[in-house]
């Protein structure tokens, strides 16, 4: 009689293998977020619309991304992460193909929202981050950071590639090739993710190193009801990502308006996101030592500094430097939200709650992308759009600072609660 092989444990070699596959899947599934920023000038010219209308596909994509994240998180909790990943492969692949045939900006935008956002990109981000958080215990912060770096790796890889093919083939043919490649590779990799995470009890029994370890999951995170705590994290996520969207979505168009050309803007976007990868990895290591809330507060404060630097400097060299600093300063913000959820909420709700909070950050990106374009149309300049982003980021800082204060004070919301 043969005995079944033991199930893989947290932090095992199999967990590392899943992390590598996850990184590739996020890199592929997140491509549409950055491809749309590169094609924005071409789409605007092709359809003859203003900047706000040309920003609509990105806005709907991010709204779909955000709303879909909650649904895909629930599916992952119920059926395992492979199911939403297969749905995502179809959504991204079919979305690119249909968008390539769009005859107007409204059809183009709708396809981005419904297929590439809701059914596509959403399946390859929040569910995979939640899944990774359940496969690691001692080094959860760095593992989630590596996983989330796929999003920025996507932004570093795809813009120059897509810009090259747009010049040679046009944006429509480029979209068709992106759809075919994305579907084949994502579907194949999804089949490798059939195992369910280790049991919650095993994950919790594994000791974690670092300051964040004492933030045990609680029935009342931050001394608040779970619903109230999650709502505040969602509002903070919207605020920080409205600010984040301004450079990430409009840097290509901004450089075109300044006379530097779309290619220079695509290079800056790639540089920003390469530095974001470094930031995410460093922030993950920091998070394992000081916890998610402190890491989020640090990244949000530095993001404000970077946004302020865009106001007085618009020279070509200056913009390259500021783009790099922006990536270095804010790369760890979104992964920190996932870590906060795992530190302060019950682990069996990881997929749904992480999906909801991450979805809020994506909705913030959607709102920020559209809002920045609208402010540009009203003022003829991106200066006011940068100021708008700074204001939203201050809202994020206030909420995160308040939650951190509640965890530090003695009493039911502070450190004593974690040991109760």
Q: What's the start-to-end Cα distance of the chain, in Å?
A: 46
Q: What confidence score (pLDDT) does residue 210 get?
A: 41
- Please enumerate in sequence order all residues whose Cβ is within 8 A of that of 99, keeping only pairs 6 or more positions apart, or say none: 57, 108, 111, 112, 116, 175
Q: How far is CA 98 from the centre of its chain?
A: 24
Burial 45-69 (b: 16+ CB within 10 A, else e): ebbebebbbbbbbbbbbbbbbbbbb
Quick one: pLDDT at residue 203? 45
Q: Which domains does the chain have, with CATH numbers?
A: 13-418 (1.20.1250.20)
Q: d(Cα 50, Cα 170) in Å, to the nearest integer?
A: 20
pLDDT tens sequence across 110-163: 999 999 999 999 999 888 988 888 888 778 888 888 888 888 788 778 888 998
d(CA 158, CA 148): 16
As given in the structure block, the two tokens for residue 375 are: 């402010």
Concatenating the DSSP letter of every residue in 225-236 gives: -HHHHHHHHHHH
Give, for 48, the enclosing helix (H) or strand (E).
Answer: none
pLDDT of residue 65: 86
At residue 376, the pLDDT reads: 86
Residue matched to tokens 């992480």? 354
Distance of alpha carbon 212 from alpha carbon 117, whole angstroms: 33
Please report the pLDDT score of residue 199 as a whole number.
54
SS3 420: coil
CB 292 within 8 A of CB 343: yes
Determine whether 1 is exposed, middle or buried from the number of CB atoms within 10 Å of its CB (0-12, 13-18, 19+): exposed
Q: What is the pLDDT of residues 60-118, one digit of tens each?
A: 998 888 889 888 988 988 888 999 999 999 999 999 999 999 999 999 999 999 999 99
Q: What's the pLDDT score for residue 411?
A: 57
* Largest Cα span, the chain: 76
- Grouped pLDDT means (10 residues each) for the chain, 420 residues: 60 90 94 87 88 82 85 86 95 96 94 94 89 83 86 83 90 95 96 80 45 54 87 94 87 87 84 86 86 91 93 90 92 86 77 83 84 86 89 94 86 46
């Amino acid at each position: 009689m043969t005995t079944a092989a033991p199930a893989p444990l947290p932090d095992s070699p199999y967990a590392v293998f899943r992390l590598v596959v996850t990184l590739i899947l996020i890199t592929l599934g997140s491509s549409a977020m950055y491809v749309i920023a590169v094609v924005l000038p071409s789409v605007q010219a092709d359809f003859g619309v203003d900047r706000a209308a040309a920003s609509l596909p990105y806005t709907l994509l991010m709204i779909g991304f955000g709303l879909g994240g909650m649904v895909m998180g629930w599916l992952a909790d119920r059926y395992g992460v492979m199911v939403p990943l297969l749905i995502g492969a179809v959504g991204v692949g079919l979305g690119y193909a249909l968008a390539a045939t769009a005859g107007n900006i409204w059809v183009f935008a709708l396809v981005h929202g419904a297929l590439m956002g809701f059914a596509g990109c959403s399946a390859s981000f929040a569910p995979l981050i939640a899944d990774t958080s359940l496969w690691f215990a001692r080094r959860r912060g760095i593992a989630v950071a590596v996983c989330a770096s796929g999003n920025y790796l996507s932004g570093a890889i795809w813009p120059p590639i897509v810009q090259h093919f747009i010049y040679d083939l046009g944006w429509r043919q480029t979209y068709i090739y992106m759809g075919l490649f994305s579907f084949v590779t994502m579907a194949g990799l999804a089949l490798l993710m059939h195992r369910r995470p280790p049991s919650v009890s095993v994950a919790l029994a594994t000791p974690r190193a670092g300051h964040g370890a004492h933030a045990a999951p609680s029935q009342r995170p931050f001394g608040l009801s779970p619903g109230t705590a999650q709502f505040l994290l969602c509002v903070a996520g919207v605020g920080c990502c409205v600010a984040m969207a301004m450079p990430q979505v409009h840097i290509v168009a901004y450089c075109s308006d300044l006379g530097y050309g779309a290619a220079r803007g695509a290079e800056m976007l790639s540089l920003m996101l390469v530095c974001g990868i470094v930031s995410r990895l460093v922030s993950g290591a920091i998070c394992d030592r000081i916890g998610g809330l402190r890491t989020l507060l640090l990244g949000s404060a530095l993001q404000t500094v970077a946004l302020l630097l865009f106001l007085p400097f618009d020279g070509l060299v200056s913009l390259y430097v500021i783009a790099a600093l922006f990536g270095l300063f804010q790369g760890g913000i979104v992964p920190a939200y996932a870590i906060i959820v795992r530190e302060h909420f019950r682990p069996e709700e990881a997929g749904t709650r992480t999906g909801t909070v991450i979805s809020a950050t994506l909705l913030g990106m959607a709102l920020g992308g559209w809002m920045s374009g609208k402010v540009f149309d009203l003022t003829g300049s991106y200066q006011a759009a940068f100021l708008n982003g700074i204001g939203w980021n201050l809202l994020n800082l206030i909420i995160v600072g308040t939650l951190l204060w509640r965890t530090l004070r003695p009493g039911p919301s502070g450190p004593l609660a974690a040991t109760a």
